[in-house]
Amino acid sequence: MLIQIRFHVLFLLFVLIGSACETKTASKNSKNEVKDTTNNSSVNVKDTATYSSISVKGLSLYRGSYFEIQYPSSFTPKPKSPITKYNGNIYVTTDEASFTSPDGDVEFFVFSPLWAGSPKSYLNIMSSEEVVSEKTEKLSKRPGQYGDKVIRRVTIKSKNGNYCRSYLSIEEQVGTESNLHHVFGIKYKSQLSYEKYHGAYLAFKKSLKQFAD
């Protein structure tokens, strides 16, 4: 009888650990987003003509209208059209894209327009969702910069507990009348899923390259 009681206790602890999007878990995810931000404080500007289609070390290259980013080759990108061709390279005509893991447990997101703007709907909180944590940080203008940088981190969960999603929004002034806005996001069904793909998500964010017009 004592062995059976211990087994049930251990099983209950395992279920609790794997449950998705508790408030405590979301707070931890928010901290991870804060740590990850430092790698995205600036965006490299590259000439689109210098790139060719590549898929190395399990990574594939996705080109949007004015950006490119590397994602795990096993993930499914969206959208895949409409496309344009330039110097033999294929570009999807979009400012945003999502990438879904083969098991469907995780989805990465990126928004990287030429200048400012906002994703079509990614920053919106749906009626079926609620905000778990939110933090906004404003970095004042520093020498050599035109204006402030606003970094916003938000963690959201579905009310039915089916998933959580966290996003990082970075807005900054880069000219007298020019602003940049980039958004990274990760949607996950459980904390175990988040931890499984967290390293890939960090690499995904770090690989973003912005094109100039």
Half-sphere exposure of 141 (CA within 13 A, CB side): 9
The answer as to whether 135 is a domain residue is yes
What are the pLDDT digits (tens) for 171-200?
987 666 678 899 999 999 999 999 999 999
In a domain? residue 163: yes
The answer to whether residue 91 is domain-embedded is yes
Note down the domain range covering 108.
21-211
Residue 79 located in a structural domain? yes
155 pLDDT more than 90: yes
pLDDT for 84-134, tens place per residue? 998 888 999 999 999 999 999 999 999 999 988 899 999 999 999 999 999
Q: Is 12 part of any domain?
A: no
Q: How high is the pLDDT of residue 177?
A: 62
Q: For residue 212, what pLDDT is reported?
A: 73
Q: Which residues pair with 78 in a beta bridge?
A: 98
pLDDT beyond 80 at 40: no
We report the CATH number of the domain holding residue 164 as: 3.40.1000
Q: Is residue 95 part of a domain?
A: yes
Q: Is residue 134 part of a domain?
A: yes
Instruction: Kindly tell me if the per-residue pLDDT of 205 is higher than 90.
Output: yes
Give me the number of domains the chain comprises: 1
**Longest CA span, the chain:** 74
Instruction: Indicate left, alpha or beta for 211 from its phi (over 0: left) and psi (-120 to 50: alpha).
Output: beta
Global confidence as pTM? 0.72
How far apart CA 88 and CA 174 sit, in angstroms, is 31
In a domain, 11, yes or no: no
Rounded Cα–Cα distance for residues 17 and 190 (Å): 9
pLDDT for 24 = 36
